Each structure stands twice: as C-alpha cells, then as structure tokens.
C-alpha cells in the first residue's frame, strides 16, 4: 500500500516503502492525462505537472494539483492505464486463439436437412416426390382430389383409400358422440371374415348365410383363450349376457358386438351379407375426427366417388343432436402411404352424381 503525506496545501506526496518510482517508469497515459475533459470537478491542471525528488528511505512523487482535483486525477489516471492494458491483453488473447475476429459462416445444409419443415425431414424420397403433385393448403374439388389420390398411390402394394373428417363436436358429451355404419355400394375391396355367436335354430341359419365361423359357448371359450381369427363378430340378442364377459378382450380391438354398429342383430343372414358386401363401422375419436376407409386405390374413379359420397351422406345424416354451429370443419382424403388432399367442403356437400338415363 502507498502511504500518502502532503508537504504543502497545494501538493500531494505518495511514498512507496518497498520500491522506487522514477519519471522514466511512468507511462505516457499518466503523464499526458488531462483531467479537464473527463471530470467537471477539475478546473485546471497545475503547471508544475510532476516533481520527482529522491529521499533517504524512499522515493516520492509530488503532484501539484488544486485541492479539489487531487484524488480524482490520480484514481482516473490509474484506472485508464489499467483499462488500456486489459483491453490490449484481451485483443492479443483473441488473436492468439481465434486468429481472426470474424465468425466463420455456417456450412449450408444439404439433402433432407435443408428442408424447412421438420416433418418432411423424416419422409422418404418417394413421399417427398409425390407430395409435389398437390399444393399445400389448397382446397380441391372432389373429382380432382380422387384423381390425385390414385396418382399418388405409388407403393408396391394396393393402398387403401381413406377419408378423414374433422367435425365440430366434443365426444366427451353424450349428445355429441358419433358412431354409425355405412354401406359402401362398391365394397371395401377387402375380404371380411365374419364370426357369429348364436344358438338353437339360428346356428344353421348363420352357416347357410355365409358366416366363416359359427359357435356358441364353445366359441366364447376359444376367444377367452386368445382366438381372434376374424374381422367382425356378430351376436344374436340372446347371447349378449354371455358375451359380456368378453368385454375386456374385444373392446380394445373394436370387435365387441354393439347394436349401434349393427353387430347385434336378430336377422343374421342380412347382417352377414351387409358386412360381406362392404358395410363399414365408424366413430368419432376423442378429438372429433372420423377416420373412414372407402375403397382401394385400384378402384376406378367412379367407384371411389360413389363410395365417398355414401360416406359423406352417412356422416351428415347421423349428425349428433348436441352439435352446434358449423358441423364440418375440414375434410381430407388420402391413400394409406400418401399425403392428404384437402377437399372444398361446400362443393363436397353440394356435389351430386350425374343421373344415368
């Protein structure tokens, strides 16, 4: 620490006990420092500047300032000297580490990484190519959309044509739930395996109607053991008390017989024939969206159009009583492995098939 002693009212003495300071040791920043431009409290700089005299025990520096500017000038000069040294050290260190102050430009991304949407970066090359065939967020007429759907179905297997309707309903309320069936005039293009649970006289009746599997309590035991080799399970009303024990097994798979789905019927031959010919069950999920297959991609455009209009009419006819406001929010169609095509809802609802003479 420096001991400060003053010999007169107009001078300041700094005494160093352990080292000596000479004029040539002072840097130019302290010698040439002018207090007027930085501090308003300093009125003038003394004309004697620095007086350096040697002493017996230690050297001292006499700085002649006015009384108000004594301490301010010394502190400011030392601080400026420290700031300059620190800035020079940082600059040298930056040059030594980085070499240059300019930041290197990032490398341009290539391939899928350069795509703007994250979901497109996970798509296959085939999907990205067929996606260019349609304009995003554009609403297409129903005939044009079906033509695009067939063009986009480019996989090695026959894809299913799907419809997805977003409705203005909230299925958590009982009066806004939607569950029904639709008979597709041109079929689904799939082979449906139908199993029937019945007893008595109806046993032979179901077999003659074309059911793939007919049984009673023995079939219930097989299902409890894990047998699920069927696509639809139809039951007669008198078997429902026994079928109730299968709820935990059949419910999650969507195979539980239900009157709304047409799988609990007294007229078994008619129910079997409808599901064999293309009867489809649908329901709204918890977000109010209906997912519905309406054929295969190898169907003709006319057949797909007929099936799609039948599905639209069924969803419109079974509108829940609690649905308020605009019922249809959006409608899309697509193939199993293709991008979706948005439909013009007004044109879709008003479209009518041309009458054949």
Q: What is the pLDDT of residue 20?
A: 41
**pLDDT single digits (tens) 207-249:** 888 889 898 889 999 999 888 888 899 999 988 888 888 888 8
pLDDT in tens, 30-71: 444 444 444 444 344 444 444 444 444 444 444 444 444 555
Of the given ranges (93-107, 167-181, 334-348), which has the lowest mean pLDDT? 93-107
Structure confidence at residue 159 (pLDDT): 93
Angstrom distances, CA of residue 332 to CA of 37, 89, 97, 162: 74, 65, 57, 8
- Which phi and psi angles does 222 have, rounded to 5°? -65, -40
pLDDT tens digits, one per residue of 128-159: 888 888 888 899 999 999 999 999 988 889 99
pLDDT above 60: residue 124: yes
> Alpha carbon 42 to chain centroid distance?
64
Separation of alpha carbons 276 and 232, rounded Å:
10
Asked if residue 271 lies in contact with residue 234, where contact means CB atoms within 8 angstroms, the answer is yes
Above 90 in pLDDT, residue 291?
yes
Kindly report the number of other CB atoms within 10 A of residue 34's CB atom. Answer: 10
SS (H, E, C) 78-147: HHHHHHHHHHHHHHHHHHHHHCCCCCCCCCCCCHHHHCCCHHHHHCCHHHHHHHCCCCCCCCECHHHHHH
Kindly tell me if the per-residue pLDDT of 1 is higher than 90. Answer: no
Residue range 175-181: mean pLDDT, rounded: 91
Q: Could you give the angle at which helices 301-317 and 142-152 cross, rounded to 10 degrees? A: 120
Domains and CATH numbers, the chain: 127-186+280-350 (3.30.190.20), 194-277 (3.40.50.790)
Taking a C-beta distance cutoff of 8 angstroms, is the pair 175, 169 a contact?
A: no
Say what the pLDDT of residue 114 is: 63
pTM (2 decimals)? 0.62
The DSSP element (H or E) to which 234 belongs, if any, is strand 232-235
Q: Please check the confidence at residue 8 and state whether its pLDDT lies above 50.
A: no
Please state, rounded to an integer, the average pLDDT across all residues of the chain.
77
CB atoms within 10 A of CB 275: 24
Q: What is the pLDDT of residues 9-33, one digit of tens each?
A: 433 344 333 344 444 444 444 444 4
């Amino acid at each position: 620490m420096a001991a400060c002693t003053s010999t007169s009212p107009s001078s300041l003495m700094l005494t160093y006990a352990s080292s000596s300071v000479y004029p040539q040791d002072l840097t130019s920043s302290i010698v040439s420092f002018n207090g007027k431009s930085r501090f308003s409290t300093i009125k003038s700089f003394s004309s004697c500047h620095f007086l350096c005299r040697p002493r017996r025990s230690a050297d001292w520096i006499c700085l002649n300032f006015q009384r108000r500017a004594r301490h301010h000038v010394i502190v400011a000069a030392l601080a400026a000297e420290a700031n300059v040294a620190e800035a020079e050290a940082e600059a040298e260190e930056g040059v030594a580490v980085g070499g240059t102050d300019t930041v290197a430009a990032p490398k341009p991304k290539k391939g899928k990484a350069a795509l703007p949407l994250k979901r497109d970066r996970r798509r296959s090359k085939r999907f990205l190519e067929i996606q260019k065939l349609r304009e995003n967020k554009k609403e297409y007429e129903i005939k044009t959309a079906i033509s695009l759907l067939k063009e986009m179905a480019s996989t090695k297997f026959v894809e299913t044509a799907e419809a997805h309707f977003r409705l203005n309903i909230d299925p958590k309320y009982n009066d806004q739930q939607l569950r029904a069936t639709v008979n597709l005039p041109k079929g689904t293009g799939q082979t449906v395996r139908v199993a029937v649970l019945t007893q008595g006289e109806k046993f032979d009746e179901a077999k003659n109607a074309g059911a793939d599997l007919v049984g009673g309590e023995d079939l219930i035991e097989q299902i409890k053991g894990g047998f699920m080799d069927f696509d639809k399970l139809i039951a007669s009303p008198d078997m429902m008390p026994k079928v109730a024990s299968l709820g935990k097994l059949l419910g999650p798979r969507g195979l539980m017989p239900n009157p709304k789905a047409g799988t609990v019927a007294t007229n078994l031959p008619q129910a079997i024939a409808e599901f064999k010919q293309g009867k489809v069950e649908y329901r709204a999920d918890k977000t109010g969206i209906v997912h519905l297959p309406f054929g295969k991609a190898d169907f003709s455009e006319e057949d797909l159009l007929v099936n799609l209009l039948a599905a639209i009419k069924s969803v419109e006819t079974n509108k829940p009583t609690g649905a308020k406001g605009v019922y249809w929010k959006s409608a899309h169609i697509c193939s199993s492995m293709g991008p979706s095509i948005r439909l013009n809802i007004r044109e879709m609802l008003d479209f009518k098939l041309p009458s054949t003479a």
